[in-house]
Amino acid sequence: MPNSVSNLVVTPARRLTFGNKSFPCALGRGGCHLHKTEGDGITPVGVWSLCQVYYRPDRLGPPKTILPVTALTPNDGWCDDPGHADYNNFVSLPHAASCENLWREDHVYDVIVTLDHNSDPVISGVGSAIFFHVARENFEPTEGCVALEMETLLNVLASVEPGCAIDVRNNQG
């Protein structure tokens, strides 16, 4: 996909550029690479569509955005078990397989944007739960997601246009 002003461009230098603005971001502890496997902490290189926004209704109101928005509940999770049919999908908890709880005590998942990484088709072991979400203090590394400060994330979501994607680049791109 050609670089577009509507795309969010992410570099291994932990910067996200949107239009003419640049922001610090957190990336996976394993850096940015083309080859991603479950649990490696890598942020996958590629162009990933912004799909669905989830938010904690007990902590903030619905984010303003053109993307579909859904309030989280304490029973929401994301399957990270490569051996299960629900791998890399939204699920209800409790669940028979290993799942990440989306209703967290910290604020990292107060706003989550799902990306279309490993979604059509889902391939076992190629990575799950690659999200765009709220960064920890000091932009500590993620498990493979892209994360921004809350205010910046909300401002970006309010400004995205139809077809907007995250373009995660490696050192060559």
- Give the mean pLDDT of the chain: 95
* Residue 163, Ramachandran bin (φ over 0: left; ψ between -120 and 50: alpha; else beta): left
pLDDT of residue 5: 45
The structure's pTM equals 0.94
Question: Do 139 and 25 meet the contact criterion of CB atoms below 8 Å apart?
Answer: yes
- Which three-class secondary structure string do you get for the chain? CCCCCCCEEEECCCEEEECCEEEECECECCCEECCCCCCCCCEECEEEEEEEEEECCCCCCCCCCCCCEEECCCCEEEECCCCCCCCCCEEECCCCCCEEECCCCCCCCCEEEEECCCCCCCCCCCCCCCEEEECCHHHCCECCCEEECHHHHHHHHHHCCCCCEEEECCCCC
* Tokens 């400060």 sit on residue: 149
Give the residue extent of every domain in the chain: 8-168
The pLDDT tens digits of the residues spanning 30-44 come to 999 999 999 999 999
Within 10 angstroms of residue 171's Cβ, the number of other Cβ atoms is 11
pLDDT score at 4: 45
| pLDDT tens-digit series, residues 112-150 | 999 999 999 999 999 999 999 999 999 999 999 999 999
* pLDDT band of 3, cuts 50, 70, 90: very low
CATH class in words for 8-168: mainly beta
* pLDDT confidence of residue 87: 98
Average pLDDT value for residue range 74-103: 98
Cα(172)–Cα(170) distance, integer angstroms: 5
CB atoms inside a 10 Å sphere around CB 72: 20
